[in-house]
Chain A
């Protein structure tokens, strides 16, 4: 069982994600540079956070044209779990794997703070261990994290159960307080908050158990016993 962590020029949460996958959840993980392809034997793909290409043009816009994205798309079509965190979410949105766009926060500032998420969909490979409406204390750190879709797409998102996480309170002006969404099949998930920063009690001042369930959900999906 192997998780691929995709690295773009400017990714900066790749090492944090790798640490959590390998040292905390004892998974086999491997970095894949954006110019490389993904091998067939990968069981899940994670696009970590950071500032790919320095956020030039728009966050995630340039990285979404990287060679590796073709393989990520193939994996997604095959139903393999794909998670994009923060800049990874922005890249998934820019590459068309997820609906919507991520705009500048309504404060117009970069925001780094701890917030609460509410689980809205517990059917994805990253949320199957949650109860609906469960709360997750978790940090955000982004400048362009305001999720936006038009009304028509919003209706579709609701109908197809594509809203995965919402903020418990208004944080940055996101439509419907959306913090994370999935594709129609539910195997591709994007989220702005950083689960890899919240699963260890050392650095989580509130409660590290809820965030851990994101990774435990993946373990369950992959059939790995804890």
Chain B
């Protein structure tokens, strides 16, 4: 929880004296990995951040994209892993709160929440089950109370997260371009702290998040209050409408220390503030505690003396605190006082910009020991294997999770959770599609290809709704960066993401790096999570209900790529094999083709192949539409593979297209013109999900029974501890 010796010396030589205890606290918070990105920042610059729709303004905590007609969307992603591992309810809830305030600070109304959750093996590990249950409740209680729909996300379980929790939250905002906060200050402006009171919760939270999790330091976890957050949202938006906000920043990691120094640095101003003016929850808090408390639901607002009266009226209406804590100066210093006494006085740019590190990296030795090939005995009937996969926690329906989230409030949700990407309607007649995806199993086997795969998967999901990707959010989560092998995996993932983003011209509009994710058994697997935002110009024509005699075709080759697949890992307990790799040219062709056939209204639905491969993806279509199918595995395009590999390979860039057969020739023409590898592989109808090979049934499952198993497996496990495979071999 303190500065390294090198950093302490740097601080001393800069200011030419011994720092005060408050200065030490401020600098330690701001120079923590969590706030300063000191290990990663040098490299993050490689990501493309500009694009035709990107609006860049100084001091924004979220990315801004122009969606036309005078409207913008904002987007941001954060994680709250360390706090959630200790106190999952509060950790996950405050994770939502933090990212929502980032959206708010640009002056936009938050309109959607996404959450990515990862825990240990919940089939065996009771603590993982407890963490999962409480994190979900934390997100539900917070997001539901705010009236912001949680419309998407992902849940994954892997033994590498034993005794740990990964809670990623992304949020989208929407507003008028003219209402964006411009972040400008004027002479004599004052600095106001709005919202909840400052208490002793979350003290040192940012440093806590920048260390390996060794102690269960519960005081470092913040306490959530969604009711106050809701009042702040309404108060801030009203103040925005009335033009009362010159600049704004939310209080997150590092509390006041970071908010004040980062605002001063971004605006190139100085700020003088008095800790005695901060409204506190407890009377005997010392100045250092006040400066680094991470109490939630607080916003720092810069406004003028004359506008303050109106701002205070708004705060009084919503009965939230509003204190003038300081004023703007033009000396570029952060000057903290307690009454008349100076307790800290430091140059803002120095505090806000820690010296960046150039950490060494080295290819991990574990990668060389991973077995790249293993054959498993083939069997004649894969029905049981498929049922087992459908009931596995990673593939089973997540209805237990998303039915606890209000995903309808705000009346924008056109495509609801439970399918690929969710779709929201916007006020200008356009539609927004978004999805977040991660795949640590593949990233472990190949950090570069795995990360690219997450990116492409999120794009595929968005494309399946007919939306063109316009922006990306990246959340890079790794272990201790001081381990060169771990840092190598970070760099590889980042380079992969950069190559994909540049090639597809999808700008990175926001992101976060979370390091030091270590469990008692060692580092987590590399866990980049990628969010992709897409835009549709007209009302989406997919998905439509599939009916009898509709046909199914697959776009893209199925390859011998089962590394990190659910089939290898869940069924055969084998970590290894060849990681799926994205061919950029094929990927582009496929995306364009799918967008084209959706735009021409030729298909009923598009679904991507991901976890569990072709077999699971087809079953999902059948279950969602309550209709059986008959699929010929002989027709699946790609390499000649064993039957289990055709069924469960997780090759990327594949789409399953369902359509009325009368449209086939038109679809065929488009796909042929684009030189896309595709094949019609089956038809819908009946009450069985059937796969045949050499005219023999390889899989034959009753739709209704299978649907019941898939739908309830996770709920049964979480609520009743009933593991599907216990009763069913």
Contact = CB atoms under 8 A, between A and B. Distances in A.
A194 interface: yes
Interface in B120-161: 140-141, 144-147
A54 B140 contact: no
A197 B279 CA distance: 40
Contacts of B407: 112
Contacts of A43: none
B147 A202 contact: no
Which 6 interchain pairs have the tightest Cβ spacing? Answer: A12-B147, A54-B227, A51-B145, A141-B406, A16-B411, A110-B404
Given A9-B231, A111-B403, A203 B147 contact: no
Interface in A191-220: 194, 196-197, 200, 202-203, 205
A136 B407 CA distance: 19
Nearest to A16: B411
A55 interface: yes
A203 B414 contact: yes
B644 interface: no
Contact of A110 (B144, B225, B230): B144
A20 B410 CA distance: 11
A26 interface: no
B230 A10 contact: yes
Contacts of B230: 9-10, 12, 51, 54
A102 to B, nearest CB: 16
- Chain B contact-residue range equals 20 to 34
Contacts of B413: 203
Interface of A: 9-10, 12-13, 16, 19-20, 33, 49-51, 53-56, 109-113, 139, 141, 143, 194, 196-197, 200, 202-203, 205
A109 B406 contact: no
A205 B416 contact: yes
B409 interface: yes
B539 interface: yes
B319 A9 contact: yes
Contact of B317 (A33, A109, A203, A205): A33
B318 interface: yes
21 contacts: A9-B230, A10-B230, A12-B147, A12-B230, A13-B147, A51-B144, A54-B226, A54-B230, A56-B227, A109-B140, A109-B403, A110-B404, A112-B405, A141-B144, A194-B408, A200-B411, A202-B414, A202-B425, A203-B413, A203-B414, A205-B416
Contacts of A51: 144-145, 147, 226-227, 230
B412 interface: yes
A205 B544 CA distance: 10
A71 to B, nearest CB: 19
A196 B231 contact: no
A33 B402 CA distance: 32
A197 B411 contact: yes
A56 B227 CA distance: 9
Interface in B191-217: none
A13 B413 CA distance: 14
Contact of B318 (A9, A53, A113, A141): A9
Given A9-B318, A51-B145, A110 B411 contact: no
A19 to B, nearest CB: 7
B145 A141 contact: no
A109 B231 contact: no
A19 B416 contact: no
B406 A110 contact: yes
B318 A202 contact: no
Nearest to B417: A112
A13 B230 CA distance: 12
Given A54-B226, A54-B227, A202-B425, A19 B411 contact: yes
B146 A53 contact: no
Contact of A139 (B140, B408, B425, B539): B408
Nearest to A196: B411
A13 B145 CA distance: 11
B317 A141 contact: no
B408 A203 contact: yes
B409 A12 contact: yes
Contacts of B405: 110, 112
Contacts of B425: 202-203
Nearest to A14: B147
Contacts of B539: 202
A109 B404 contact: yes
A12 B146 contact: yes
Contacts of A55: 145
A107 to B, nearest CB: 9
A205 B145 CA distance: 25
A19 B410 CA distance: 10
Nearest to A54: B227
B617 to A, nearest CB: 21
B318 A197 contact: no
Interface in B507-525: none
A139 B413 CA distance: 12
Nearest to A53: B227
Contact of A112 (B146, B226, B403, B414): B403
A33 B319 CA distance: 13
A49 B411 CA distance: 13
Given A10-B227, A10-B230, A110-B144, 5 more contacts: A9-B231, A16-B409, A51-B147, A51-B230, A202-B414
Contacts of A203: 408, 411-414, 425
Nearest to A199: B411
A203 B424 CA distance: 9
A33 B407 CA distance: 26
Contacts of B416: 205
Nearest to A143: B144
B42 to A, nearest CB: 42
B180 to A, nearest CB: 20
B408 to A, nearest CB: 5
A196 B409 CA distance: 10
Nearest to B406: A141
B605 to A, nearest CB: 13
A141 B144 CA distance: 9
Given A51-B227, A56-B227, A111-B403, A10 B408 contact: no
B251 to A, nearest CB: 20
A112 B406 contact: yes
Nearest to A51: B145
Nearest to B228: A54
Nearest to A15: B410
B227 A50 contact: no
Interface string B404-448: 111111111110100000000100000000000000000000000
A180 B35 CA distance: 50
B318 A54 contact: no
Contacts of A12: 145-147, 230, 409
Nearest to B415: A205
Interface string B379-417: 000000000000000000000001111111111111010
Nearest to A12: B147
A13 B408 CA distance: 10
A113 B409 CA distance: 12
